[in-house]
Amino acid sequence: MHLLLYVLRRIIQLIPTLLFIALVVFLLVHLLPGDPASAMLGDRALTADVNRINHELGLDRPLPVQFLLFLRNLLHGDLGRSIQLHQSVVSLIEQRLPVTILLTVMSALVAVVLALPLAFVAALRRDREADVLIRGTFQIGLSMPVFYIGLLLLTFFGAYLRWFPVGGYGDTFASHLYHLFLPALTLALSLSAVLMRNLRQAILSVIGAEYVDFARAKGLPARLVLLRHVLRNALISTVTLFGLQIGTLLGGAVVTETVFAIPGAGRLMIESIYGRDYPVVQGTTLCLAVVVSLTFLLTDLIQVMLDPRLSR
Amino acid sequence: MKKTLAGAFAAALMLSAAQPALAVERGGTLVYGRYADSLFLDPVLNDANVDIWVLSNLYDTLLLPTDNGQGVQAGIATKWDVSADGMSVTLQLRKGAKFSNGRDITPEDVIWSLERAANPKNGIWNFLISSIDKVVPDGSDGVKIMLKHPDPAILHALTVFNTAVMPEKEFEAEPGNTDEAKAREFAKDPIGSGPFVLKSWVHGQSMTLVRNPYYWAKGSDGKALPYLNSVVFKVIPDDATRILQLQSGALDGAEFIPYARVQELKKASGINMELYPSTRVEYVTMNVRKDVAGKANPLSNPEVRQALNYATNKKAIIQIVTHGVGSPMSSFMSSATPLHAGKGELYPYDLAKAKALMAKAGYGKGFSTSLLVLAGNQDELSIATMLQQMWGQIGVKLQLQQVDNATRTDEYRKGDFSMRLSAWTDDIADPSEITSYFAYSPTIQSLHTGWKNDTVDKLFVQSQSQMDAAKRKEEYAKIQQIFNTTGPTVSLYQTPYPVALRKDVHGFVQIPLGNNIFRGAWVSKKTSN
């Protein structure tokens, strides 16, 4: 019950945040130079055509009126229609957002699978060869731009070894997973580097704690000590970091989706910004904001589960 | 001028000329990687090359462009005849020509399609056929196009995407109150008469075209075209990924290969690196208004513009930016555009002359100005930094402003830019389109530069109804001479379309206007892969 109230309170707090994001995004896209008609018709556009289309779109109305209309539609769950693609923004997001979320979830999983064991190895072999090797390799991964890592992986595992497809998304769920593996790995590399360093440090600080010594002295097997006492306590700060990094991961998906030709929400957003497709930019930004906010909430809940003192 | 052509014969000739002497193989799928997806597959209401360049595969026109992009050949019309006074065109429709749903194409469909395309309320391409007054039936299987004035480009206009023949009844049966609303519905599952039919389209990902069993043209084996069962377009925005997919065999062809990769792919085994002749030109546009944003504008002085032209080392730019793929220009329009006139490179690099012109114009000490560059476009950035360095030698300090396309278009249309980089491709095999945008001031104030030359304006209007081919050629020679010597541009280079195909792909062509023609394409059976 206590936890439920906590979740409810957090969700209600979300509403003003999202309204504020809606306002900022609305202002930002409308203050960008250019307009959808010019962007669509390009350099050869005749002024009469540009004005006609902008009028049809209602873009010649005062900004406050446009914002109120946008809010009114938003309350009805209507995010408007794409100017470029002539589909409802909701249907576009339904098509594209799951792709990005799947990519993000896969990246997060790959990052955890990479970071967890290696952090333990690095911490337990502190300053020995294994530690130096692991930290050095991750440092390289961290310093390379995402698109470059992506191209390297594509060239080697895709074009050369042919283990994985060279970009694309596939048609079935299984083939989605197959197609998304390399892009997920690309995104995961930098995240796992951050997680690994943080977790390694946390393990090192926990491992010397008195309660760990006590557990060992009690005669608990080493594996149990590590899992129950060291890992659980070390994870608290890493989980926070992990949650905060989900936003970065979504940002990275924008680049990765372009390199790997994945039809996700990131690419949709970029194309919409270039095309000044206001409703799509507003809609995707809002949805991504919701996703990030919910991730933060989930992170907090996991923390509470790891350390019940935090819910008080 | 009376001109009657045995169209069918000419078409047969053109087709056989286009095919290599190999025995064609039928069937199969060709997977083609595009840099961006289409937006709206309506011939009249679309407004982008991503649509234009694939439309002809779905929608057939009365006449077709020849593979060199300069002539016309039979399409849905088998015979065409321009009247002696140039005021009308009669066309005979092909017997048995059908839409992709199996229905016969009637003169009423043609009349409706042309009048829809010529309606100034529909889309942005109606200017190409603004000479059309009305279209009437001619006998049971023909139409007669009545013109407001003689139009020397009318036959070429009938090959352009916006004059495609569409089924009136099926289009009008779509739900919606406006032409655009109906077109949106129609374009989801279009019925045309081109060699292919749209089967499926996942936006941003892929588009599948399958062969139209009712298509009229015959291949070199005497059977109906197209040879392929289907064409699949995959959208792969990243150049490097597109090339990797081609190399790994996931694609049979890839468009827009960056110039930097052309030499490498020419040497690659299993790949044909094609450079199709094109009408694409790259140039700097200079605002020539007396004042820009409240400041005196040195570019309004023609001598300054000439100096900048002479100070531009085009050969160096071609080497570094296009890796030798481009070539210098001898007029503002590409040499593939009909009636192109001009011998030798425009403004061969001459620093001494440039300095002298600057001094003569009163800018011996130079001046500062700015150039709009498309952010993230490697070619434009390379050109811009080279210009910065070259023009620095005559004292011109060039400030680079990197902006996105919509921002640039906005400043361009408002006319408050100093300079920008641009590229142009013709949509019609006639010099009138490029000339109306570049040189004829009423269209868009000569590329929004404010440049205006009364002689050019007069000559252009004259040439638009000039039916004497020799005189029209003279008029265009004069227009080009005036524009090239005093105009608002620095012509940098013209480039072909770089397309990489796997070696087993044959018969594909991208014509100089950009259209990707898949009707004669075929894939030889993959042996070991």
Containing structural domain, residue B249 = 26-39+187-276+498-523
Instruction: State the pLDDT at residue A142.
Output: 83
Instruction: State the pLDDT at residue B11.
Output: 43
Which of B112, B139, B172 terminates a domain? The answer is B172
CA distance B47 to B354: 40
Residue in A35, A42, A155 closest to B48 by CB: A42
CB atoms near residue B160 (< 10 Å):
27
Rounded to the nearest angstrom, the minimum Cα separation between A293 and chain B is 27
Is B407–A32 a contact, with Cβ atoms under 8 angstroms apart?
A: yes
Does residue B17 lie in a domain region? Answer: no
CB atoms near residue B198 (< 10 Å):
22
CA distance B502 to B522: 11
CA distance B64 to B311: 42
Could you tell me if A50 and B413 are in contact, meaning their C-beta atoms sit under 8 angstroms apart? yes
* B443 interaction partners in chain A (CB closer than 8 Å): 46
Q: Indicate if B367 and B434 belong to the same structural domain.
A: yes
CA distance B476 to B331: 11
- Which chain B residues touch A if contact means CB-CB below 8 Å? 39-40, 47-48, 124, 184, 202-205, 234-238, 240-241, 244-245, 247-248, 250, 403-407, 409-413, 422, 437, 443-444
Is B39–A85 a contact, with Cβ atoms under 8 angstroms apart?
A: yes
Could you tell me if B107 and B141 are in contact, meaning their C-beta atoms sit under 8 angstroms apart? yes
Beta strands B77-82 and B88-93, pairing class: antiparallel
Q: Indicate if B337 and B258 belong to the same structural domain.
A: no
* B244 interaction partners in chain A (CB closer than 8 Å): 154-155, 158-159, 166-167
Rounded to the nearest angstrom, the minimum Cα separation between A39 and chain B is 5
DSSP assignment string, B352-398: HHHHHHHHHTT-TT-EEEEEEEETT-HHHHHHHHHHHHHHHTTTEEE
Rounded to the nearest angstrom, the minimum Cα separation between B442 and chain A is 11
Could you tell me if A181 and A164 are in contact, meaning their C-beta atoms sit under 8 angstroms apart? yes
Does residue B424 lie in a domain region? Answer: yes
Is B205–A263 a contact, with Cβ atoms under 8 angstroms apart?
A: yes
CA distance B15 to B509: 12
CA B215 to centroid of chain Cα atoms: 25
Q: Indicate if B270 and B283 belong to the same structural domain.
A: no
Residue of B nearest to A256 (CA): B238
Does residue B177 lie in a domain region? Answer: no
Q: Which two tokens stand for residue A37?
A: 């008609």
CA B347 to centroid of chain Cα atoms: 26
Which helix (H) or strand (E) segment holds residue B73: the answer is strand B72-74
* A95 interaction partners in chain B (CB closer than 8 Å): 203
First to last CA, chain A: 13
For residue B148, give the nearest of B163, B133, B162 by alpha carbon.
B133
The CATH number given to whatever domain includes residue B217 is 3.40.190.10
- Cα dihedral B488, B493, B497, B499, rounded to 10, equals -140
* Largest distance between two CA atoms of chain A: 84
For residue A136, the number of C-alpha atoms closer than 13 Å in the C-beta half-sphere is: 7
Is B406–A167 a contact, with Cβ atoms under 8 angstroms apart?
A: no
Residue in A85, A158, A169 closest to B248 by CB: A158
Which of B108, B137, B172 terminates a domain? The answer is B172
Residue of A nearest to B244 (CA): A159
The phi, psi pair for B119, rounded to 5°, reads -65, 120
Q: Indicate if B153 and B222 belong to the same structural domain.
A: no
Tell the residue number behind the tokens 């109804």, with chain if given. B465
User: Looking at the DSSP assignment, which residues form a beta bridge with residue A184?
Assistant: none
Could you tell me if A211 and A218 are in contact, meaning their C-beta atoms sit under 8 angstroms apart? no
Coil, strand or helix: which one is B216? Answer: coil
* Window A:117-146, CB contacts with B under 8 Å: none
User: Cα separations (Å) of B52 from A277, B56, B73, B336?
Assistant: 21, 8, 19, 19
Q: Indicate if B258 and B144 belong to the same structural domain.
A: no
Helix and strand numbers (H, E) in chain B are 17, 23
> pLDDT 10s digit of each residue in chain B, 529 long?
444 444 444 444 444 444 445 689 999 999 999 999 999 999 999 988 899 999 999 999 999 988 777 889 999 999 999 999 999 999 999 999 999 999 999 999 999 999 999 999 898 899 999 999 999 999 889 999 999 999 999 999 999 999 999 999 999 999 999 999 999 999 999 999 999 999 999 988 999 999 999 999 999 999 999 999 999 999 999 999 999 999 999 999 999 999 999 999 999 999 999 999 999 999 999 999 999 988 999 999 999 999 999 999 999 999 999 999 999 999 999 999 999 999 899 999 999 999 999 999 999 999 999 999 998 888 999 999 999 999 999 999 999 999 988 899 889 988 989 999 999 999 999 999 999 999 999 999 999 999 999 999 999 999 999 999 999 999 999 999 999 999 999 999 999 999 999 999 999 999 999 999 999 999 997 543 4
Rounded to the nearest angstrom, the minimum Cα separation between B289 and chain A is 19
Query: Which residues does B312 contact at the CB level (< 8 Å), separation at least 6?
Result: B284, B347, B349, B387, B390, B391, B490, B492
- DSSP structural state of residue B173: T
> pLDDT 10s digit of each residue in chain A, 312 long?
677 888 888 888 888 988 898 899 899 888 888 888 888 888 888 888 888 888 988 899 999 999 999 989 988 989 999 988 888 999 999 999 999 999 999 999 999 999 999 998 999 888 899 999 998 988 888 888 888 888 899 999 988 888 999 888 988 999 999 999 999 999 998 889 999 999 999 999 888 888 888 888 888 888 888 888 888 888 888 888 988 888 888 888 888 998 899 999 999 998 899 889 999 999 999 998 888 888 888 888 888 887 777 765
Could you tell me if B509 and B273 are in contact, meaning their C-beta atoms sit under 8 angstroms apart? no
Does residue B12 lie in a domain region? Answer: no
SS3 for B486-525 is: HCCEEEEEEEEEEEEEECCEECCEECCCCCEECCCCEECC
Q: Indicate if B212 and B289 belong to the same structural domain.
A: no
SS3 for B386-408 is: HHHHHHHCCCEEEEEEEECHHHH
CA distance B317 to B345: 14
* B422 interaction partners in chain A (CB closer than 8 Å): 43
Residue in A34, A159, A260 closest to B247 by CB: A159
Does residue B44 lie in a domain region? Answer: no
Is B409–A85 a contact, with Cβ atoms under 8 angstroms apart?
A: no
Which of B124, B142, B172 terminates a domain? The answer is B172
Residue in B237, B240, B250 closest to A165 by CB: B250
The CATH number given to whatever domain includes residue B307 is 3.10.105.10
CA distance B134 to B88: 10
For residue B35, give the nearest of B49, B47, B17 by alpha carbon.
B49
Beta strands B295-296 and B291-292, pairing class: antiparallel
Could you tell me if B104 and B50 are in contact, meaning their C-beta atoms sit under 8 angstroms apart? no
CA distance B112 to B242: 40
Q: How many domains is chain B partitioned into structurally?
A: 3
The phi, psi pair for B335, rounded to 5°, reads -70, -10
For residue A135, give the nearest of A113, A152, A115 by alpha carbon.
A115
Is B413–A151 a contact, with Cβ atoms under 8 angstroms apart?
A: no
Q: Enter the pTM of the model.
A: 0.88
Beta strands B419-424 and B291-292, pairing class: unpaired
Residue of B nearest to A255 (CA): B238
* A96 interaction partners in chain B (CB closer than 8 Å): 204
* Window A:80-99, CB contacts with B under 8 Å: 84-87, 95-96
Cis omega (within 30 of 0) on the bond before B226? yes
Could you tell me if B418 and B297 are in contact, meaning their C-beta atoms sit under 8 angstroms apart? yes
Is A43–B422 a contact, with Cβ atoms under 8 angstroms apart?
A: yes
Q: Indicate if B458 and B503 belong to the same structural domain.
A: no
Residue of B nearest to A82 (CA): B39
The CATH number given to whatever domain includes residue B136 is 3.90.76.10
Is A267–B204 a contact, with Cβ atoms under 8 angstroms apart?
A: yes
Rounded to the nearest angstrom, the minimum Cα separation between B1 and chain A is 33
Residue in B202, B409, B411 closest to A42 by CB: B409
Q: Indicate if B256 and B107 belong to the same structural domain.
A: no
Angle at the Cα of B413 from the Cα atoms of B409 and B416, rounded to 5 degrees: 100
Q: Indicate if B246 and B360 belong to the same structural domain.
A: no
Does residue B8 lie in a domain region? Answer: no
DSSP assignment string, A216-259: HHTT--HHHIIIIIIIHHHHHHHHHHHHHHHHHHHHHHHHHHHH
Rounded to the nearest angstrom, the minimum Cα separation between B122 and chain A is 10
Query: Which residues does B13 contact at the CB level (< 8 Å), separation at least 6?
Result: none
Question: How many interchain CB pairs under 8 A, A with B?
Answer: 110
CATH topology of domain A89-311: MetI-like fold (1.10.3720)
Q: Indicate if B406 and B272 belong to the same structural domain.
A: no
